[in-house]
Amino acid sequence: MKAISFCICVLFAFQLFSQEDILARQYFDRGEFEKALTLYEKLYKENPRTNQLQLLVACYQQLERYDEAEAVLLRQLEKSNASPTYFVELGYNYALAGKKGKAGEYYDKAFKAVEDRPAYTYTVGRNFQEKNLLDEAIAVYERGKELDPRLNVDYQVAQIYGEKGNMEKMYSSLLDLIASRQNMNLSHVQRIISQFITDDASHPNNQLLRKLILKRAQASPDILWNELLSWLFIRQRQYASAFTQEKAIFKRAETVSLQPVIDLGIMAMNDGDNDTATAIFEFIIENTGTASVQLEAHLNILRMQIEKGDASVYDDIEDRFRALLEEYGLNSSTLQVQVAYARFRAFQMEDMAKAEELLKRILDEIPLNALEEARVKMAYADVLVYSEKFNRALIYYSQVQKMVKNDVIAQEARFKVAQTSFYKGDFDWALTQLKVLRESGSQLIANDAMQLSLLISDNILGDSTNTALKTYARADLYAYQNKTGKAIALLDSVLANHRGESIEDEALFRQAELFEKGHQYKKAEYNYLRIIEFYPYDIWMDDALFALGQLYEYRLEEPEKAIPYYEKIIFEHEDSIYFVESRKAFRKLRGDGT
């Protein structure tokens, strides 16, 4: 019993200590140094750990109580096992107090400790570096390496050159490491370089790096230079240039792998560089003997052609689908191609009968596992929604949910049940499904569910006929059916007949998306600006800000206009899903580093 009581007391004391530690750190991070100091003095007295001491000293220094910080550090140095990093700490404290001579004296003691025992090189060098004493850090690292050549401090020294602004020295040091192939880790090199370049190819740091790599490649050809150039070009979204490097790597590599080329093709496709992506996938088709890789490359080319929405090439797409299926057969290995072909027949050619026939044949004749069957049934249900056969579609979506309960596709199917119910005007059932999905493990599905849920709940109040919402739902269905003109016209009627109502901002945003799809960018701009001006506190505000920023940056080619909209997300919508992307775009457009 006494043992149990003792354990409980120890556990309680530890919990209390942890809570005070967390609170002290919060005070420190908020700049409330007096409050933090009171707690750190208590914590250090109870448990004199290194991190407690460092934060205690930092509090004294922030409050300009340098004598008290000095006393703590001197007591620490009196201990026989004291780390030489405390020489750096004490020297830095003297420097803050304006005692430069004393500071230099203790920096020298830290340096001598490294002379006596090179194993201290890392900790002493890092301590100097953390205090922005960069010349001292370089001296420690370089002397440590002289004394013990086994020490791998080249990365640290190179990074310090970058922090000092000597980019050429930093790049040269890292490229020397690559050339030597000793203690070389290419991904580590890339991580260091990433801190000093941007995705803007015209940035001086980017241009200098490219110049130095090319110079090395010309002097001493090596696949590593091609890999580094490819990485730089990808970072700059110059996929055609990266492809040139990847082709060179593929032709010269001892172990032939197309995976980097495949990854590059997918990146280019996802970033909208369809010409380069097509060239990459054609290269893959020509250079692989693996049927599944060839099929995926063919399918990616077809997806890009379909996405362009150019009806004049639909016959060519049809011919390509048929040729693929004739060459590779109607079997499980071509399942994705068959499903994509069925979707094409439905959504682009509006041939519902053929689409249903293709999907039924897959379900009836090809052996499928549960996940494959679920995906085919999902596609079948999508086609049925397009045909406005809502009840049959709901049956298939429900089957998908039951077949693969623990897969994200089940959540997607539930969302489509809600969406289909929305299209048919069954708003209550849609809300029931969406309530479950708002807790979804998939962030994308959860966000879509939240937005549709709010759209419905905000607009079924006060109007028993739900006229505006039904019209909006019909417009959304038209958009799903690729009837963009009809969708825009219906949304015009919502905006004309329900001005000032809660549905107005939703209609403006949905219409703006459709304007963008039809390349009517100035009309999209007008809609986004109306949302920002008249609905600053509504759910679509951050969506409109980000969409407008993207529109200015990539479509209207007025990137300077995008800056204030990204900035508004950063400072007024910190919880937005666009926060990270907005911050990155803002820094790039303003000319900051990464």
How many distinct helices (H) and strands (E) make up the chain? 32, 0
C-alpha torsion 175→179→180→182, nearest 10: 70
Is residue 336 pLDDT above 60, yes or no?
Answer: yes
549-581 residue pLDDT tens: 999 999 999 999 999 999 999 999 999 999 999
Which pLDDT belongs to residue 265? 98
Put residue 592 in one of left, alpha, beta given phi > 0 → left and psi -120 to 50 → alpha: beta
Q: Which two tokens stand for residue 584?
A: 């990155």
Is residue 591 pLDDT above 90, yes or no?
Answer: no
Q: Is the pTM of this model over 0.85?
A: no
Amino acid at residue number 594: T
% helix, strand, coil for the chain, step of 5: 80, 0, 20
Is residue 14 pLDDT above 50, yes or no?
Answer: no
Q: Which two tokens stand for residue 38?
A: 């009171």
Report if residue 68 sits inside a domain: no
433-462 residue pLDDT tens: 999 887 766 777 888 899 999 999 999 876
Report if residue 456 sits inside a domain: no
Q: Which two tokens stand for residue 43?
A: 């914590």
Q: Distances from the Cα of 190 to the Cαs of 163, 187, 579, in angstroms? A: 16, 5, 25
The C-alpha atoms of residue 501 and residue 510 are separated, in whole angstroms, by 15
Placement of tokens 């219906």 in the chain: 490
196-233 residue pLDDT tens: 998 889 999 999 999 999 999 999 999 999 999 999 99
Q: Distances from the Cα of 390 to the Cαs of 341, 410, 435, 540, in angstroms? A: 22, 18, 21, 28
The model's confidence at residue 464, banded by pLDDT at 50, 70 and 90, is confident
Is residue 5 pLDDT above 50, yes or no?
Answer: no
Is residue 173 pLDDT above 70, yes or no?
Answer: yes
The C-alpha atoms of residue 134 and residue 163 are separated, in whole angstroms, by 8
The model's confidence at residue 183, banded by pLDDT at 50, 70 and 90, is low
The model's confidence at residue 253, banded by pLDDT at 50, 70 and 90, is confident
Q: Write the CB contacts of 378 (distance below 8 Å, at least 6 apart in sequence).
A: 396, 397, 400, 409, 412, 413, 416
Please compute the mean of the pLDDT values over residues 78-101 and round it to a whole number: 95
Is residue 503 pLDDT above 60, yes or no?
Answer: yes
Tell me the pLDDT of the chain averaged across its residues.
93
The C-alpha atoms of residue 481 and residue 322 are separated, in whole angstroms, by 24
Sign of CA pseudo-dihedral 287, 293, 298, 303 = negative
How many domains does the chain fold into?
A: 1
Q: How far is CA 548 from the centre of its chain?
A: 20
Which pLDDT belongs to residue 68? 97
Residue whose C-alpha is closest to residue 75's, from 67, 335, 440: 67
Orientation of helix 291-307 relative to helix 335-343, angle to 10°? 10
Report if residue 3 sits inside a domain: no
Phi/psi at 275 (nearest 5 deg)? -65, -45
The C-alpha atoms of residue 280 and residue 286 are separated, in whole angstroms, by 10
The C-alpha atoms of residue 526 and residue 505 are separated, in whole angstroms, by 12
The C-alpha atoms of residue 313 and residue 367 are separated, in whole angstroms, by 33
DSSP state of 407: S
Is residue 274 pLDDT above 70, yes or no?
Answer: yes
Please compute the mean of the pLDDT values over residues 463-482 and round it to a whole number: 93
Residue whose C-alpha is closest to residue 96's, from 128, 126, 70, 77: 70
Given a contact cutoff of 8 angstroms between Cβ atoms, the answer to whether 55 and 28 are in contact is yes
Is residue 346 pLDDT above 70, yes or no?
Answer: yes
Element (H, E) at 78: none
C-alpha torsion 513→514→516→522, nearest 10: -100
CB atoms within 10 A of CB 379: 21
CB atoms within 10 A of CB 196: 20
Report if residue 73 sits inside a domain: no
284-331 residue pLDDT tens: 999 999 999 999 999 999 999 999 988 999 999 999 999 999 999 999
Amino acid at residue number 6: F
Residue whose C-alpha is closest to residue 381's, from 473, 480, 315: 480
Which pLDDT belongs to residue 461? 72
Given a contact cutoff of 8 angstroms between Cβ atoms, the answer to whether 280 and 243 are in contact is yes
Q: Distances from the Cα of 449 to the Cαs of 343, 457, 532, 539, in angstroms? A: 24, 12, 23, 13
43-74 residue pLDDT tens: 999 888 888 899 999 999 999 999 999 999 99
Is residue 9 pLDDT above 50, yes or no?
Answer: no
Sign of CA pseudo-dihedral 52, 56, 61, 66 = negative
Placement of tokens 């340096």 in the chain: 111
Report if residue 226 sits inside a domain: yes
Report if residue 120 sits inside a domain: no
Orientation of helix 259-270 relative to helix 223-235, angle to 10°? 20
Range of the domain at 203: 152-236
Phi/psi at 315 (nearest 5 deg)? -65, -40
The model's confidence at residue 593, banded by pLDDT at 50, 70 and 90, is low
Given a contact cutoff of 8 angstroms between Cβ atoms, the answer to whether 385 and 420 are in contact is yes
- DSSP secondary structure of 228-297: HHHHHHHHTT-HHHHHHHHHHHHHH-SS---HHHHHHHHHHHHTT-HHHHHHHHHHHHHH---HHHHHHH
Q: Which two tokens stand for residue 255?
A: 């172990």
Put residue 133 in one of left, alpha, beta given phi > 0 → left and psi -120 to 50 → alpha: beta
Is residue 3 pLDDT above 50, yes or no?
Answer: no
Q: Distances from the Cα of 250 to the Cαs of 45, 115, 178, 257, 261, in angstroms? A: 62, 48, 20, 7, 8
Asked which of 137-151, 177-191, 406-420, 491-505 is least confident by mean pLDDT, the reply is: 177-191
Given a contact cutoff of 8 angstroms between Cβ atoms, the answer to whether 552 and 529 are in contact is no
Q: What angle do CA 538, 450, 582 make, to 5 degrees?
A: 60
- First-to-last C-alpha distance (Å) of the chain: 59
Report if residue 26 sits inside a domain: no
